Homo-oligomer: A and B are copies of this chain.
Amino acid sequence: MFTTTITPRIGDTDGLRHINNNVVPIWFETARNPIFRIFVPNLELTYKKWNLILAHTETNYIKQIYFGYDVEIRTYVSRIGNSSFTIIQEVWQNGQLRCSGLATMVHFNFIKQKSERIPDDVRKELEKHLITEKELKIKNDKEMKENKKHIEEFDYIESDM
């Protein structure tokens, strides 16, 4: 598991006073940096060196996310195929899972314009972060049960009445 801490900014909220939906995939992209570094250690953005493309994403919006509290993005690997692999990403705030998502990326040769097998050394690194969806669900349910919510969050609905 990779973890990335992000401080929301006021512009990440929208008129409903929660973090806007489109901020989540942006945070997920930031939190993919450690994954990118496995494939391109110095993160060089040229067609000769960069070798990943994004094929598919899914995002589940579970609970509201607030401005004023840091968020933790967690990144796992859930599947390693021949040339593609899938990661799971989550947004946690104040001890609760707020959003989950997945992203399928392809190991891609930009010069030849075709996908290529994920090399063995990269594969070995990715495997260190493998988890099944079932294992993750058990882990998350346990963690959320243990978390006593000490921080009182805003009741913005109340403010509006």
Chain A residues near B (Cβ < 8 Å): 4, 7, 9-17, 20-23, 25-26, 29-30, 33, 36, 42-48, 50, 53-61, 67-68, 110-111, 113, 154, 156-157, 159-161
Contact = CB atoms under 8 A, between A and B. Distances in A.
Given A13-B45, A15-B156, 17 more contacts: A7-B33, A9-B26, A9-B33, A14-B14, A16-B110, A17-B46, A42-B154, A44-B68, A44-B154, A45-B156, A46-B156, A46-B159, A47-B157, A48-B161, A53-B61, A55-B60, A58-B59
A10 B36 contact: yes
A161 B110 CA distance: 11
9 contacts: A10-B29, A14-B15, A43-B68, A45-B154, A47-B156, A48-B160, A55-B61, A113-B157, A160-B160
B21 A9 contact: no
